[in-house]
Each structure stands twice: as C-alpha cells, then as structure tokens.
Amino acid sequence: MSVSENHFENLPKKSVSVIDTIKKIVQKQVFIPLAALLVLILFNLIADPSFFKISLDKSSSGDPVLSGYLITILDNASELAILAIGMTLVTSASGGQDISVGATVAIAGSVVLKVLCGSQSRPDQMQAPIIVAFLICLVVSMLFGAFNGMVVSFFKIQPMVATLILFTAGRSIAAWINNNELPVISDPKFGYYGNFIPGIPVPTPIFIAAICMIIIALVLKFTNLRLYSQAVGINPSSSRLNGINPQLVKFLTFVILGACVAVAGFIKVSRLSTINYSVVAKDIEMDVILAVALGGNQLSGGKFSMTSSILGAYVIQFLTTTLFKFKVSSSAIAAYKAVVVIVLVVLSAPIVREKMVQMKKKGTAAKVGKAKKEVA
C-alpha cells in the first residue's frame, strides 16, 4: 500500500508527540538538577509538609524577619551559588577544579577583619569603612586566583594539583594575617551583609547572590567569555588557531573565581562578625564541585550551563538542610552526598552515555517500524 510521504511523517509525530516532548525535556542539561530538586520537594511534602512553611517573626532586635526552612536554604546557599559561578568557568576552560576555594575564603574573610580591626583584635569601632575592607579583600582574593591561574595556564599543571598548594597553606595564611588571633567586630552594621538589614525581612546574602547572578548573566551575554571558555575547554589547540589565547582565558577564569571567593568570604565573616580559621567554609569546595557536576556540566571541560550550576548549588543546600531537619548527624551527611557523587559519575561515564545513545537509537527504530506497519 503506497502512502504519501507527508501522511507517513505526520502520523508518527501525532502518536509520539508526548514522548517526544518528554525526551526534549530530559535531554536539556537543566533537567538533572530540576529532577533532583523535584525528588527532594516530593520527599519533604510526604515526610513533613510543614517543611515549606514560611512565617514572619521578630529578630532579637525586634525587626520583622522571614523564617522557615526554605528561607534557610536560600540564605545558606548564597555563598555556594556565588562560588559555583566561578567554579563553572574554571571547570569549562581548564578541564579541572579549584580545590582551594574553602581555604581562600578563609583568607578573604581574614583580610576583611584585618582591615576593619586594624592593630586591635576587638576594637570599639571599625578602623576603616566596610567598602574599603571589601575592595582590599577583592584585590587580595583575585591575586590568589591569579596565582592559581598562572600555575595552571602558564606552567600547565593540572588544576587540582596546582590548587593543592593553597588548599594546604591557605588556612595557615589566614591565621597569620591576624597573628593567629580571632578578631571580633562589635559594630552591628557589619553584620547586616551576612544577616538582615533592619526593616528588610529577607536575608541580605540572598540579594548579594542575586546581584552576582545578574552580573555574570550580563557578562556572558555581552562578552565572548562563554564562547572562549568553552572553546578552550573543548580543544585548546583549535582555539589558538582561531585567535583565542588559551592561557589568558584559563588565567581569567581563575581571577573571576577569586572575585567570587572574595564575596563569599565577606558574607561568611559578616554572618558572625568573627572568624574561625579551621572551620569557616570547611569542605565547601566539595559542595561547589558537586553543584557544578549536578548541573550536568562535564568536569573535563567544554560546554557549560551557568543556570544549571547555580540551581545545583541550591539543590545541594536543599539536601543538606533536609538531612539536618531529619536529625542526620553532620558526620553522616558527607556519606549521603557521596551517594549523589557516585550516581553522577556513573551517569556521566562514557560507557553509560554510549549505552543510552544505543538504546535511544533502538527505541526510535522500533517506533518507526511500528508506525510503518500501522500505515501499511
């Protein structure tokens, strides 16, 4: 039975339109973190619907503030989301990760406190404007980022090995900056940036993270940073032939990560108005790398989705908050995250991806054959 080509093409499209739509959604990179987020939402809805309750309470100073697990997630994930921005660029361009971000966050926070405290560990008033402390912290953090970038791009050392230097020495440097003392800022204005601004019920770090996201969105839209980072990560030799300097691009991404570290460090010390060098941002580098991986980005470099990485950061914090909510001990939380890592590594393995592609081809061929039989 002869059937026109148009009739044959239209029939299968109508019969599998829903499946095709689902496939398109699944194939999108943002699907992985969205699916993980949906699983966590459903789990908490079933286990305890009050998890999603948001209330307006009073702070210790009498100001109205929003409280609830969702607010806690958005608040505590701020530093993680900011660091995920820089880590995504570093991963894309260099094909590796910076494992020193936790230690450099400690350095950044220590610099802020040093500038504000001056020669005293507990001054009655701040010795410099907060904006000056932040700018100095920004410069110092970007210099440390430039150091990592130089070792990676110009000396061609693997990022994880190169950043092991600051991973090992960073917290000691942070303690040395303040003579191993624990400075404390008594002025409540400094705490506004890590907690609440009087009269505004939303935590300030949420606004800071949103500003950073807007800035990177504009940078990626109006510059060639995305194109250059991906080109260098995919094939440095080809990108060089096309007029791109791979060394400069890798170096620049580490400097940008340094700027992200400065913001995260500033928020961290503002939350408590002091610092504990061995505890601040402890193991945050693992969460940041996991956020990038959860976003579906290849840890070997190349194409990336900034939206997926940022969403991955909030998913990681959602998981952490959920575990704490159900009284899972802090020592066991790492084990749960390790399960997530194992799943991501398995799904991203070349042999698994190859099998998935083969299954997809077989499924498509079977549907086409079935459609032909129905038409005939």
pLDDT score for 365: 59
Tell me the three state secondary structure of residue 65: strand
How many C-beta neighbours within 10 Å does residue 288 have?
35
Distance of CA 16 to the CA centre of its chain: 36
Phi, psi of 40, deg, nearest 5: -65, -40
Residue 84 to residue 329: CA distance in whole angstroms = 25
pLDDT score for 8: 43
pLDDT per residue as tens digits for the range 255-281:
999 999 999 999 999 999 999 999 999
Residues 43-52: contacts with CB under 8 Å, at least 24 apart: 43/322, 44/322, 44/325, 47/326, 48/325, 51/322, 51/325
Tell me the three state secondary structure of residue 190: helix
Helices within the chain (DSSP H only): 5-15, 17-27, 31-47, 69-76, 78-94, 101-117, 130-153, 159-162, 164-177, 204-222, 225-234, 236-241, 246-272, 284-294, 306-325, 330-348, 350-375
Ordered structural domains, the chain, with CATH:
5-375 (1.10.3470)
Label residue 14 exposed, middle or buried (CB < 10 Å: 0-12, 13-18, 19+): exposed
CB 295 within 8 A of CB 88: yes
Amino acid identity, position 265: G
pLDDT score for 272: 94
**Token pair for 369:** 């054959």
For 64, the enclosing helix (H) or strand (E) is strand 64-67
CB 174 within 8 A of CB 107: yes
Positions in the chain whose pLDDT score sits under 70: 1-26, 345, 347-350, 352-354, 356-357, 360-376
Q: Calculate ∠ Cα 57-126-188, nearest 5°.
A: 10
pLDDT score for 332: 83
Tell me the three state secondary structure of residue 66: strand
**Token pair for 128:** 């410099």
- The sign of the dihedral angle between the CA atoms of 182, 186, 187, 188 is positive
Residue 21 to residue 358: CA distance in whole angstroms = 20
Residue 224 to residue 167: CA distance in whole angstroms = 31
pLDDT score for 361: 62
pLDDT score for 298: 86
